Each structure stands twice: as structure tokens, then as C-alpha cells.
Amino acid sequence: MGQFGSRDQSLGESVLEEVIESIKNETIQNVIIMCGAGISTSAGIPDFRSPSTGLYFKLRKYNLPFPEAIFEASYFKQNPAPFYHLVRELFPEELTPTDTHRFFTLLHEKRILKRIYTQNIDALEHIAGVPEEKIIEAHGTFHRNHCVKCRKDYSLDWLKNQLFGDRETGQKFDGGDPDYVPKCESCGGVVRPDIVFFGEALPDKLWRNIKNDFSACDLLIVLGTSLTVQPFANLVGEVAKGVPRLFINRTKPGKAGLLGSLMGLGADIDFKRSKDQLLLQDCDETVHQIVEKLSWESDFAAIPKNSMKL
């Protein structure tokens, strides 16, 4: 197994080793996770918000006025069919949390997880077994859905059956219609996931918890995000300057690049505090190494490998 920081490690191993010892000594009690699409790619989940994944190339066949329209609230209200067509095409046959998601569950079971702030909408944190109150979905989620007319709530399992059919009964709701859109069982209105479309406000739950969560944080772990999307990226600055911050991702933080700047995705993020450490590695590989350093292997192995068939 590779050593930490074999690709890039700006400040040496001292910060990580200090974190490991602090967890062992139980002086770290309030871990905050910030995560993005990079923790879900090994589960086969596409980054719905990024133009860099080839996703926009797939959108050409939907005759959209412009590619981003499929993710805009105003266009969804006008024509939700392309959005659901894309969801059926891109989601894998099975939603299976990665080892990184299972690591989050382990932190919860160790009673040191304060909160997860995620950019992802795939609901894998829920499927992995993390309690809902521990998760804040900055960009919304497929875990909850609602009717746009009467506001009736629907579960991910209900939406899954609507879009992919019921595996137990073999029932197909779309009848082979590629333009099928899930409709409310009460009023017939369109049902939509509780994700944040472009042009919509971020969830109130996010703003309500930031101050208390980050003031209590004694370890921040950032995984699978390059921290280019605002205002999410700025959350890394909410923790006190003496709090360790581990950054685990394949690329360096805060590099929005030319395309990101043109799209308003944000500016570069400074990740150079004395208690910062960059671990430019695969997320699943790195959490395995952290688990090993903490001697948590048996506890990690006991975390159920949950999944949801689509």
C-alpha cells in the first residue's frame, strides 16, 4: 500500500500524524466532512453539474436551447422530460456507496462525526447508513422528492420505481415512453427531486448550521472536490485557524481554471495554513490508509455494504 503524500504533500506527514494521534487520544470529537463528486466516481455516478465530464456532449440530442438548460429550474418547469431521460441514461444499475462513504458511517459510529457537507445529489451517504440529521446536501438530493403542485413528499425508492420499474413485480411505469415523467399520485403534478437546479437558492438547512458546526469543528476533512464551486468552497475558511484541515483529492484545491472562471464557479482557494495537509490521492485508497493507521480495520470491515438496485 502506498505511502501518504506520494504524489504531493506540501507540508509533510506531521499534520496527518498529529490528527491520527488526536483521534486515538479522543481529543478530536467534532469531525466535519466536506465532499464532492470525486468520492462517488468509483460508484459509477456522474458529476451532474460539471461540464468537464463529457456530460454536456451527451445533452446535444435533447434539442435544448443551450446545454445548461437541462439543469435550470425554469426549463424543468417548462419541459421536465429531458432531465428524467438523462437520469435514466446516466445512473448505474445499482447505487452502491464507496469505501469513502462507509468511512463516513464509521466516523459516525465512533461518535466523532459532527456533520457531512456534501455537494453530491446521489444520496449515497444515506444508503451508506449515515443518519439524515448528520448530512447537509448543499446542492440538494435525490433522497427526497416532492410534487411541484401539492408538495406531497416521495422517497428515493418511489422515484426509483417510477424511473426504472419495480424489480420484484416487473412493473414498468413508463410503458416504454422515453419522455415519461413521474407524476403525483394525489394531484397529477410533476414530481421532482429536491436537488438545487441552477437559479434556485441553496437549502435553508445549510445556512442554519454553518456557524455552530464550523465553530465546534476540531478536524475538517475535504474529499473528492477541487473546491471551485461557490459558496460551498468558502466553507473551508469557517473553521478556526488552529484546526487541522486534510484535503484528499486527485487534483489540487481551488483551481477553477479559465472555464471555471468564465462560468462563475469561483476563485482559487488558499489551502496553506500550518495545520493543512494535501493528500493528492484516490479517496478510497486514502481512507483505507487512515483506517489502517487508526487500527480500525475490523470496525471498518463490519460496516454493512449497503446498496439500492435501480
217 is in an annotated binding site: no
187 is in an annotated binding site: yes
Cα separation, 72 vs 200, whole angstroms = 8
Instruction: Verify whether residue 139 is a known catalytic residue.
Output: yes
Q: Are strands 308-309 and 219-223 parallel, antiparallel or unpaired?
A: unpaired
Cα separation, 180 vs 173, whole angstroms = 8
C-alpha cell recorded at residue 121: 445529489
35 is in an annotated binding site: no
Active-site choice (101, 139, 143, 146): 139
184 is in an annotated binding site: yes
- Binding-site residues sit at 147, 150, 184, 187
Q: Which residues are catalytic?
A: 139
- Binding-site residues for Zn(2+) sit at 147, 150, 184, 187
